[in-house]
A and B are shown apart, each in its own frame.
Chain A
């Protein structure tokens, strides 16, 4: 099955068709998508700010991570679910070959890779720099990339209807 026929089938699915004309549920799902975005980007940026030494310096890095991460994952799940729902209604006509949408997905993936790299490298020795400020260079780099990547995710997202 080609990408096009998959998107075509999703858009023609009776559920997507019903959703596409529902002027109550579309803005309701969009609202949830944006509220979860604020929580997702907000919690990630708070952690990044600590890595960069811009704030929350009195809290240890591992404690901040442990307290914020459940919120981040909850927000990400909600954001993904509502995003998938919004995708269905114009899967073929808008998203299938949209370059901004593809860049957005790629950037989210990169943000995930950045986070994974951070966790399997410098975060392993977090006990050595948990309360320190400044943090190691590699942690600062991970924080900067993360802030930049999520900003670009939002930019790419807003560009989708314009390309």
Chain B
């Protein structure tokens, strides 16, 4: 894996990201903006599981809402992952050995799997008021995962 990171680091495109004065901050801005949209979409589902809703009687069943909203989330996630990959390539070896970065990737994978696989199942249950404790826990855990991802990302520079 380390050899792969070294190979990635040496690529022409990684060098460009590293050395250009404008490519790095541009990718960084795309990465942060898509994160904001992506996290907000995921949080919208998590918050609804926690019992927060825009309408008293939501017109769309929770499962329908989840499916529709997550579609936007995956678009933002695609942009986020692509910019993240390029930023990673620019400093591949340093990131690879960084424990905070490893935790971040682990949490991202966990978060994606969770929101993709677990939440649609939870959302299939009809919406009740107040939400059952199981749904609330599921939503709270989802929110916590994304806060964890952001925290791990910020800690990369300090470990």
Contact = CB atoms under 8 A, between A and B. Distances in A.
Report the contact-size class of chain B (Cβ under 8 Å from the partner). 20 to 34
Interface residues of A, number: 32
Interface in B110-159: 146-147, 150-151, 153-155, 157-158
A151 B35 CA distance: 12
Interface in B18-38: 21-22, 24-26, 28-29, 32-33, 35-37
A78 B29 CA distance: 21
A117 interface: no
A35 B59 contact: no
B101 to A, nearest CB: 13
Given A58-B59, A154-B33, A159-B29, A31 B151 contact: yes
B25 A151 contact: no
A64 B72 CA distance: 19
B54 interface: yes
Contacts, number: 82
User: Binding site of A, secondary structure by majority: helix, strand, loop or mixed?
Assistant: helix
B32 A154 contact: yes
B3 interface: no
B40 to A, nearest CB: 2
A158 interface: yes
A27 B103 CA distance: 15
Nearest to B31: A158
Contacts of B81: none
Contact of A67 (B29, B32, B54): B54
Interface string B66-79: 00000010000000
Given A27-B151, A27-B157, A58-B59, A158 B32 contact: yes
Contact of A63 (B41, B55, B60, B72): B55
A155 interface: yes
Contact of B55 (A26, A59, A151, A155): A59
Interface of B: 21-22, 24-26, 28-29, 32-33, 35-37, 39-41, 43-44, 54-55, 59-60, 72, 146-147, 150-151, 153-155, 157-158
